[in-house]
């Protein structure tokens, strides 16, 4: 066990990162009427900038049969394998007492059962689904949303900065364009798929990965071999749509001029 506080905290995206599939999309395809077509249509609208992340998720959730939540959760458990190397990564983080959490734009009703089935006990920051008793309807809740911005369901940028301390660097691992604002404000970023493409385009420093082996290897170098962490960088992007990211960029710019 580590004798001193960890120099990092770790935030891991869920859909497409900690687990291999995008579970939310799978559920829409499997359980919603004409789900495959709708999921593809919403995805195209989202990534062309015609709708926001919050709007995309609201549209898809509205199609799910809320009277079958338990069935959907059980199906998700059986069809959502962990990404290769996830257990080794989590074991390393636990061994060094690294504060670790799941940071997801998905829904609690399937995230918690998947983690429980895998024997993983981590804090989860996600959206939630609340079923109205006797009404057959469900309300999409955003307990970790931004107080005024409505771009995203969960404000990953706000959550990361809320967990940040002077003593620890925030490390984020993600895979999708929905993770872009998290990447803009985290101290260290591991990126794959669309997030990697975004970081390359936006100039956000990142370390690439597909499976978790390279992530674990790099963390081992920092945590066990005393290799220095990357130099602190200016956080946030002044051109970002995210208010947290813009605020951090402005703070960094003022500090540079002081």
How do residues 23-63 score in pLDDT, each as one tens digit? 999 999 999 989 889 888 988 898 788 999 899 988 888 88
Number of Cβ atoms within 10 Å of the Cβ of 1: 6
Helices (H), 48-192: 53-61, 69-78, 86-95, 108-118, 156-163, 180-185
Q: What is the pLDDT of residue 136?
A: 64
- Tokens 């891991």, residue? 12
Strand locations in the chain (E): 8-12, 100-107, 124-131, 138-141, 169-174, 188-191, 207-208
| pLDDT at position 49 | 84
CA distance 252 to 162: 17
Residue of 121, 243, 171, 248 lying closest to 12 (CA atoms): 171
Stated length of the chain: 258
Structure tokens at 175: 């895979």
Fold of the domain built from segment(s) 8-16+82-257 = Rossmann fold (3.40.50)
In whole numbers, what is the pLDDT of the chain averaged over residues? 93
pLDDT reported for residue 2 = 44
Sequence spans of domains, the chain: 8-16+82-257
Listed in sequence order, the residues at least 6 apart from 185 whose beta carbon sits closer than 8 Å to its beta carbon are 157, 160, 161, 170, 235, 236, 242, 244, 245, 248
pTM of the complete model: 0.94
Containing 197, the helix (H) or strand (E) segment is: helix 193-202
Q: pLDDT class for 66, splitting at 50, 70, 90?
A: confident
Q: Is the pLDDT of residue 167 over 60?
A: yes
Question: pLDDT grade, residue 177 (50/70/90)?
Answer: confident
SS3 211: coil
| Residue (of 123, 150, 169, 190) closest to 57 by Cα position | 150
Using DSSP's 3-state secondary structure scheme, residue 12 falls into: strand
> What are the strands of the beta sheet with 8-12, ordered from one edge?
138-141, 124-131, 100-107, 8-12, 169-174, 188-191, 207-208
């Amino acid at each position: 066990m580590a004798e001193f506080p960890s120099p990092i905290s770790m935030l891991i995206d869920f859909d497409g990162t900690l687990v291999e599939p995008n579970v939310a999309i799978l559920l829409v395809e499997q359980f919603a009427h004409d789900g495959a077509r709708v999921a593809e249509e919403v995805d195209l609208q989202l990534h062309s900038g015609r709708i926001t992340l919050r709007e995309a998720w609201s549209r898809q959730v509205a199609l799910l049969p809320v009277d079958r939540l338990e069935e959907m959760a059980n199906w998700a458990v059986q069809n959502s394998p962990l990404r290769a190397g996830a257990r080794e990564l989590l074991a390393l983080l636990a061994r060094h007492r690294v504060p670790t959490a799941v940071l997801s734009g998905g829904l609690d009703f399937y995230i918690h059962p998947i983690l429980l089935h895998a024997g993983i006990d981590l804090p989860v920051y996600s959206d939630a689904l609340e079923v109205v008793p006797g009404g057959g309807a469900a309300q999409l809740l955003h307990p970790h949303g931004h107080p005024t911005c409505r771009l995203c369901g969960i404000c990953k940028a706000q959550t990361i900065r809320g967990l940040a301390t002077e003593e620890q660097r925030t490390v984020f691992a993600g895979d999708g364009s929905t993770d872009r604002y998290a990447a803009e404000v985290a101290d260290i970023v591991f990126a794959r798929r669309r997030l990697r493409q975004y970081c390359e385009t936006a100039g956000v420093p990142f370390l690439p990965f597909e499976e978790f082996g390279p992530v674990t290897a790099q963390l081992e170098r920092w945590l066990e071999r005393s290799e220095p962490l990357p130099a602190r960088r200016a956080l946030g992007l002044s051109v970002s749509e995210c208010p947290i990211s813009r605020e951090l960029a402005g703070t960094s710019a003022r500090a540079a001029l002081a």
